[in-house]
Homo-oligomer: A and B are copies of this chain.
Amino acid sequence: MTKRIGLFGFGVVGQGYYQIAKKQKEKWIPDTIVVKDQKKRRSSDIRFSYDSQDVFDKNPDYILELISNMEEAYEYASEALKRGITVISANKKMLSAHLPELINLQKVFGGKLLYEASVAAGIPVITNLETHFEEDNIISIEGILNGSSNYILSRIFNNGLSFGEALRLAQQKGFAESDPSFDINGSDVASKLNILILHAFGKFVGEKQIATFGIQNLGEDEIALAKSLGLKIKLIAKAEKDYRGISAYIIPTLVEESNPFFGVENEYNAVKINSEHLQDQFYQGKGAGSLPTGAAVYGDLIKARNGFGYNYSKVNFDKPLDEKLLNLGVRVLIKSKSEEIIETNIFSPEFIKCIDGFYFSVGKIKPKNLSKLNELKEVSLLALPDFLTSSDVLKSLEGIKKSEELLFK
């Protein structure tokens, strides 16, 4: 039976979906495609519409919401759900902002909302949390969730580019936007982690509560430090639960070779789940790109056709969905031009050392301060693995600085 499909948006993801749908035996080609910009040159084989009402007028069975504007996306998705229509969305910003209302609309009107493509593109992490892990008790979930940041870090560590060169290359390759700040400052990751927390722990924390620090201020010193220790830097998002509550933070992190995130390169994403019974699982796959993301959207459509919907069975609907985050200290290396920044933000510092006009310290930072620090230009942070002692860090830093001095003599 042919189903009527309405598509909002024909960017990277929408085109990926379209390309896949054309090849399949079921040929789930949208009968309406609504786009915004009437002046943009587009394929002449496809008829486009510029009025969102055209989608609803055709009484679609499914709506694919693949636009980037967050407010419009919410308007179309909620309108569709109120009509009991199943919606597939890839808009993490919109979902992260409105999941409680969207869950409610599903419950009241019976339409389903699937959004596998919104987190880690091709990796079926939401589906697995909702099915395989449905009755398991998740202890932590961790991930590399932004392809652009990871591409930049790969170019720095594998090809010796500077941060600026790597960023320009990422933009040339189309991995980063012309304004890449949401990618590199962790904001995009915060939306995704917020969605994962809901499916892993049943709580809506809101991305503003997630302690977030990006890679935008990574300097030559931190990169040289990581290299001299045989480590890499990855932008890691982590949420964990204990009997007191949930902690969640996003921070550039030093990872060692035996850590499965060490080998995740370029536009790949990865997710590590630790649970009571299934224990450790690790998933890696393409976290960006037209075909992998379009395939995740197509996959959602097939799952919906097969009767699948998210059960949200970890959500306790009798209790408020909102949760105040318990954020404990994270052990970091901090670098700043101002000693005061360090003294105000670092607890029990293991050392404070001034090298060449920069203050370095290792100590615990309260995750609630991370997001404030993230807006400063001259502060850089690296989360440290437990095995790395202060004296290892100090020795490496001094070694780097000494060899730099030699270079400039």
User: In the complex, A303 Cα to B131 Cα: how many Å?
Assistant: 6
User: In the complex, A133 Cα to B303 Cα: how many Å?
Assistant: 10
* Smallest CB gap from A295: residue in B: B277
Tell yes or no: A307 within 8 A of B by CB: yes
With contacts A128-B128, A299-B135, A302-B135 taken as known, whether A260 is within 8 angstroms of B284 at the C-beta atoms is yes
Are the C-beta atoms of A278 and B122 separated by less than 8 Å? yes
Query: How many copies of this chain sit in the oligomeric assembly?
Result: 2
Tell yes or no: A349 within 8 A of B by CB: no
Tell yes or no: A50 within 8 A of B by CB: no
Q: Which of B131, B257, B299, B303 contacts A299 (CB 8 A)?
A: B131
Are the C-beta atoms of B286 and A132 separated by less than 8 Å? no
Are the C-beta atoms of A127 and B131 separated by less than 8 Å? yes
Tell yes or no: A134 within 8 A of B by CB: yes
User: In the complex, A284 Cα to B270 Cα: how many Å?
Assistant: 11
What residues of B have a CB within 8 angstroms of the CB of A20 in the complex? 277
Are the C-beta atoms of A136 and B295 separated by less than 8 Å? yes
* Smallest CB gap from A28: residue in B: B135
Q: Is the interface of A mostly helix, strand, loop or mixed?
A: mixed
User: In the complex, A321 Cα to B41 Cα: how many Å?
Assistant: 47
User: In the complex, A258 Cα to B257 Cα: how many Å?
Assistant: 10
What residues of B have a CB within 8 angstroms of the CB of A289 in the complex? 279
* Smallest CB gap from A134: residue in B: B302
With contacts A124-B128, A131-B303, A135-B302 taken as known, whether A291 is within 8 angstroms of B263 at the C-beta atoms is no
Tell yes or no: A280 within 8 A of B by CB: yes
User: In the complex, A299 Cα to B260 Cα: how many Å?
Assistant: 25
Tell yes or no: A178 within 8 A of B by CB: no
Tell yes or no: A206 within 8 A of B by CB: no
What residues of B have a CB within 8 angstroms of the CB of A122 in the complex? 278-279, 281
Tell yes or no: A311 within 8 A of B by CB: yes
User: In the complex, A188 Cα to B169 Cα: how many Å?
Assistant: 47
What residues of B have a CB within 8 angstroms of the CB of A276 in the complex? 291
Nearest CB on B from A386, distance (A): 19
Tell yes or no: A306 within 8 A of B by CB: yes
Q: Pick 30 A–B contacts, CB within 8 A, sort by A.
A: A26-B135, A116-B132, A122-B281, A124-B132, A127-B128, A127-B131, A127-B132, A132-B303, A134-B302, A135-B298, A135-B299, A257-B257, A260-B263, A263-B263, A268-B280, A275-B295, A277-B294, A277-B298, A278-B286, A278-B291, A278-B292, A279-B285, A280-B284, A281-B284, A281-B285, A282-B284, A283-B283, A283-B284, A306-B311, A307-B307
Given A135-B302, A283-B283, 10 extra CB contacts under 8 A = A24-B135, A26-B135, A131-B131, A131-B308, A132-B303, A278-B291, A278-B299, A279-B285, A280-B284, A282-B285
Interface residues of A (CB under 8 A from B): 16, 20, 24, 26, 116, 122-124, 127-128, 131-136, 257-258, 260, 262-263, 268, 275-286, 289, 291-292, 294-296, 298-299, 302-303, 306-308, 311
Q: Which 8 A-B pairs have the closest CB atoms?
A: A277-B295, A281-B285, A124-B132, A282-B284, A122-B278, A278-B295, A277-B291, A132-B299
